[in-house]
């Protein structure tokens, strides 16, 4: 029998350790490699963090599988039982170029249902954590549900490639809004939506980019869907929309 | 005879007061009006701050003129003698929508030459200040000159309207870079360029949007120009480029 309070406590301790290691790593030059090209980077810190997370999470729930960005986990084919989805550095480009605006993310799913999510905004030293059972917290402070703001009265996060290439009519979505914003990290943009700073965020994301954010955002009453309005497949990449109820309807209508 | 150290000390005290009032104002609902339309806002806080700045700056240098966003200053027709250029809230849209990512800015020019600049990143509680005589500081810490990074190896800030409408070929500029970013406040994006987080920033700006940033950025070896490569007219609006030497050449070439 899994004690989720105990699991939560251990994961919080773990993510703080990984965060501390990450800050320490910024004091030295970071070794950077390209993955699929010059806009898709990986560093020794991504790899170190993922290894550390994988080793510890396996101990926290021994009978669990782990889907991680850098491949130190398992080849996950379904979400039966307990599954961790982890991003050791979300926003690696920002991490390398800015030493700012990046996150560490952990999600725990059980039989496909989100249980616990963690997004650590490292440079602001803010851990967003929680899940459907207990609500969402920024550090020790419980977050209120964000207001159900409409697209035309608020700002929206849109990723660079989608906006530039006008995929899904997103240039028009931006025009209808009060303005687009672009921070370069899914974790940081999920946080902005959860804080009510954006009515939503649209980007092409992989499971580790949205695994934790989906649990936290849905707990706060936000909608997390594919841009075509369908449910997300947790094991594949999609253009993901997180938004307030109102903004999600408006964006999906404009985008399809 | 003006004692610039004395002036600097008084302006730092003043901008801290205005910052404190601004944070206090966030605890109450803020009265918002549209200026030219729903994407151009002004609040009672912009007006309060500008009145406070105008009153105090007139005392700090009695024989000075003041160019301010909200019109509480003077009708400034030339930059002869001492001129203050002030933005009581830069990024008013962010201020209203996010309560985050906005700045208070003050610049002092003498016979058209930048002397002292101040950008207060309110929510991070960071005051960037200084000028050509003494260098640029974040609070008490002197900033190093940012690395002369090239466009293709770094991130660039581009304002929403310019990127969406592909003005000056800026979609291609974004594609050549490692990625565009969009924060919605000139002050916050000047800071990102000064910290080396962006190789540059392009936006349509009015004098109070770039008055302080120009002084600080140029002191740090960055180029601040019109996007066509010409010198800025300090009394009119332009599409402004702030960038490293390298990135400025690359952007101007791609944009013209």
In three-state form (DSSP H/G/I as H, E/B as E, the rest C), the secondary structure along B52-115 is HHHHHHHHHCCCEEEEECCCCCCCCCCCCCEEEEEEEEECHHHHHHHCCCCEEEEEEEECCEEE
Place of tokens 């940012």: B146
- Out of A38, A101, A197, closest to residue B97 by CB: A197
Does B209 show up as a binding residue in the annotation?
Answer: yes
Q: What is the largest CA-CA distance in chain B?
A: 51
Q: Inter-chain contact B180–A182, Cβ cutoff 8 Å?
A: yes
Region of poorest pLDDT, from A32-36, A127-131, A172-176, B103-107: A32-36
A180 interaction partners in chain B (CB closer than 8 Å): 160, 164, 182
Backbone angles phi, psi at A158, to 5 degrees: -135, 135
Range B165-190 average pLDDT:
98
**Do A119 and A203 reside in the same domain of the chain?**
no
Angle of the B4-25 helix axis to the B44-60 helix axis, nearest 10: 160
Which of A142, A168, A193 terminates a domain? The answer is A142
**Do B122 and B203 reside in the same domain of the chain?**
no
Cα nearest neighbour of B157 on chain A:
A182
**Do A197 and A99 reside in the same domain of the chain?**
no
**Do B138 and B16 reside in the same domain of the chain?**
yes
pLDDT of residue B1: 82
For β-strands A179-181 and A155-158, DSSP reports them as: parallel
Range A12-23 average pLDDT:
98
- Out of B39, B178, B196, closest to residue A39 by CB: B178
Cα nearest neighbour of B192 on chain A:
A98
pLDDT of residue B61: 98
B197 interaction partners in chain A (CB closer than 8 Å): 97-101
**Do A120 and A169 reside in the same domain of the chain?**
no
pLDDT of residue A114: 98
Which of A113, A142, A171 terminates a domain? The answer is A142
Range B172-200 average pLDDT:
98
**Do A126 and A161 reside in the same domain of the chain?**
no
**Do B94 and B187 reside in the same domain of the chain?**
no
Count Cβ atoms below 10 Å from residue B81 Cβ, excluding itself.
Answer: 13
| CATH code: domain of residue A166 | 3.40.190.80
3-state secondary structure of A38: coil
Cα nearest neighbour of B197 on chain A:
A98
Range of the domain at B35: 4-142
Structure tokens at B4: 């610039």
Picking from B98, B157, B169, B183 by the largest number of A CB atoms within 10 A of its own CB, the best residue to mutate is B98
- Number of domains making up chain A: 2
A256: confidence class by pLDDT, cuts 50, 70, 90: very high
Does B46 show up as a binding residue in the annotation?
Answer: no
Range A17-42 average pLDDT:
94
Q: What is the largest CA-CA distance in chain A?
A: 51
Query: To the nearest whole number, what is the mean pLDDT of chain A?
Result: 97
Indicate whether B58 pLDDT > 90: yes
Q: Are A117 and A130 in contact (CB under 8 A)?
A: yes
Range B52-62 average pLDDT:
97
pLDDT tens digits along A135-180: 999 999 999 999 999 999 999 999 999 999 999 999 999 999 999 9
Q: Where are the beta strands (DSSP E) in chain A?
A: 32-37, 40-43, 64-68, 82-90, 103-110, 113-121, 126-131, 135-138, 141-142, 155-158, 179-181, 200-205, 223-226, 238-243
pLDDT of residue A1: 82
Query: To the nearest whole number, what is the mean pLDDT of chain B?
Result: 97
Interface of chain B toward chain A, CB-CB under 8 angstroms: 38-39, 93-94, 97-101, 152, 154-155, 160, 163-164, 171, 174-175, 178-184, 192, 195-198
Which of A83, A115, A142 terminates a domain? The answer is A142
- Give me the percent of chain A exceeding a pLDDT of 90: 98
Indicate whether A199 pLDDT > 90: yes
**Do A63 and A138 reside in the same domain of the chain?**
yes
Q: Are A225 and A217 in contact (CB under 8 A)?
A: no
pLDDT tens digits along B109-159: 999 999 999 999 999 999 999 999 999 999 999 999 999 999 999 999 999
| CB proximity list for A92: less than 8 A, separation 6 or greater | A41, A42, A43, A46, A102
Q: Inter-chain contact A97–B39, Cβ cutoff 8 Å?
A: no
A120: confidence class by pLDDT, cuts 50, 70, 90: very high
**Do B10 and B136 reside in the same domain of the chain?**
yes
Shortest Cα–Cα distance, B10 to chain A (Å): 30
What ipTM describes this predicted complex? 0.96
Q: How far is CA B8 from the centre of its chain?
A: 18
**Do B207 and B161 reside in the same domain of the chain?**
yes
Range B238-255 average pLDDT:
98
Does A74 show up as a binding residue in the annotation?
Answer: no
Q: Inter-chain contact B179–A38, Cβ cutoff 8 Å?
A: no
Does A89 show up as a binding residue in the annotation?
Answer: yes
| CATH code: domain of residue B120 | 3.30.540.10
- Give me the percent of chain B exceeding a pLDDT of 70: 100
Q: Inter-chain contact B197–A154, Cβ cutoff 8 Å?
A: no
Residue A138 forms beta bridges with which residues? A128, A141
**Do B188 and B111 reside in the same domain of the chain?**
no
Structure tokens at A15: 């993510």
Q: Are B122 and B19 in contact (CB under 8 A)?
A: yes
- Out of A164, A178, A195, closest to residue B93 by CB: A178
**Do B13 and B138 reside in the same domain of the chain?**
yes
Report the candidate in B124, B93, B104, B4 with the shortest Cα–Cα distance to residue B48. Answer: B104
pLDDT of residue B49: 97
């Amino acid at each position: 029998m899994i004690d989720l309070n105990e699991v939560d406590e251990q994961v919080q301790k773990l993510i703080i350790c990984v965060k501390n290691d990450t800050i320490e790593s910024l004091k030295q030059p970071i070794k950077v490699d390209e993955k699929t090209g010059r806009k898709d980077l990986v560093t020794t810190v991504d790899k170190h963090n993922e290894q550390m997370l994988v080793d510890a999470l396996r101990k926290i729930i021994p009978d669990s599988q782990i889907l991680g960005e850098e491949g130190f986990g398992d080849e996950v084919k379904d979400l039966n039982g307990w599954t961790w989805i982890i991003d050791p550095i979300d926003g690696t480009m920002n991490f390398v170029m800015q030493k700012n605006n990046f996150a560490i993310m952990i999600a725990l799913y059980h039989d496909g249902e989100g249980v616990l999510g963690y997004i650590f905004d490292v440079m602001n030293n803010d851990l967003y954590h929680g899940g459907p059972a207990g609500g969402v917290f920024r550090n020790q402070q419980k977050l209120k549900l964000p207001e159900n703001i409409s697209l035309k009265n608020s700002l929206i996060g849109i990723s660079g490639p989608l906006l530039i290439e006008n995929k899904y009519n997103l240039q028009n979505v931006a025009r209808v809004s009060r303005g687009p914003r672009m921070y370069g990290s899914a974790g940081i943009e999920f946080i902005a939506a959860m804080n009510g700073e954006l009515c939503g965020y649209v980007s092409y994301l992989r499971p580790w980019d949205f695994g934790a954010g989906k649990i936290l955002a849905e707990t706060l009453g936000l909608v997390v869907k594919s841009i075509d309005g369908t449910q997300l497949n947790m094991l594949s990449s999609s253009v993901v929309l997180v938004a307030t109820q109102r903004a999600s309807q408006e964006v999906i209508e404009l985008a399809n």
